[in-house]
Amino acid sequence: MEQTKNYLKPVAMEKAYRLLNVGGTGMISAEYNGETGMMPATWVCALDIMPFKATAVIDKSHFTRPLIEKSGYFAIALPTLEIIEETMYLGSVSKYDVKDKIEKSGAEIFTLDGCDIPLMKGCAAYMIFKLIPEEHNQQAYDLFIGECVKAYADERVFKNGHWIFEQADPKFSTIHYVAGNHFYSIGKAYDTKISI
């Protein structure tokens, strides 16, 4: 293995966040009193296993945020390469400025039985969360915590509790936003000699 230190170069602090910003993009959506919001977010993370909890950073400027705060629920879905353009549009336009942004994005929307939160067709997985109110975190850090109450995954990419992207059409690969209009999609699978 070549010397790692020989290849290390400093990263400017205003770009350092990009080093961790290669996780899967989440599509955050919410509904309150017939008003719907939808926005992609890259700062989404699993927090706990059982009960399953997750976090999402949602800035105060986003239309979707007050819908979450008022309704107490939100969804996180995992967009795929098949809907990358719709995802980018939804992240580039505010519903404060364009009231019909969801329609203009070209995204096809559906809801699950017993849930009014809009979901975008073409995602690899969908999770519905009940907000765990943490006022300090929400105001100081824009950090929202939710406990999952429903979860669904597309069986073409998730079977028996495991991702199987390597067996699926590449259009079903999840997308990973970096910056500007630059994304990656999930790549090859590798198994180690050590098994757990």
pLDDT at 53: 96
Model confidence at 142: pLDDT above 80 = yes
**φ, ψ of residue 166 in degrees (nearest 5):** -65, -15
- Contacts for 97 with CB less than 8 Å, ≥ 6 apart: none
- Contacts for 143 with CB less than 8 Å, ≥ 6 apart: 55, 56, 57, 134, 137
Model confidence at 1: pLDDT above 60 = no
CATH (domain of 121):
2.30.110.10
- Asked if 120 contacts 38 with a C-beta cutoff of 8 angstroms, the reply is yes
Q: How many domains does the chain have?
A: 1
Mean pLDDT over the full length of the chain = 93
Average the pLDDT over 108-112 and give the result.
95
Domain that holds residue 67: 24-176
Model confidence at 61: pLDDT above 80 = yes
Model confidence at 5: pLDDT above 80 = no
Q: Which of 21-30, 73-82, 84-93 has the lowest mean pLDDT?
A: 21-30
Report the C-alpha gap between 144 and 172 in whole angstroms.
Answer: 27
As a whole-number percent, the residues of the chain with pLDDT over 90 amount to 80
pLDDT at 141: 98
Residue 52 domain flag:
yes
Residue 17 domain flag:
no
Residue 31 domain flag:
yes
Residue 193 domain flag:
no
Residue 111 domain flag:
yes
Read off the pLDDT of residues 21-37 as tens digits, 9 standing for 90 and up. Answer: 768 899 999 999 999 99
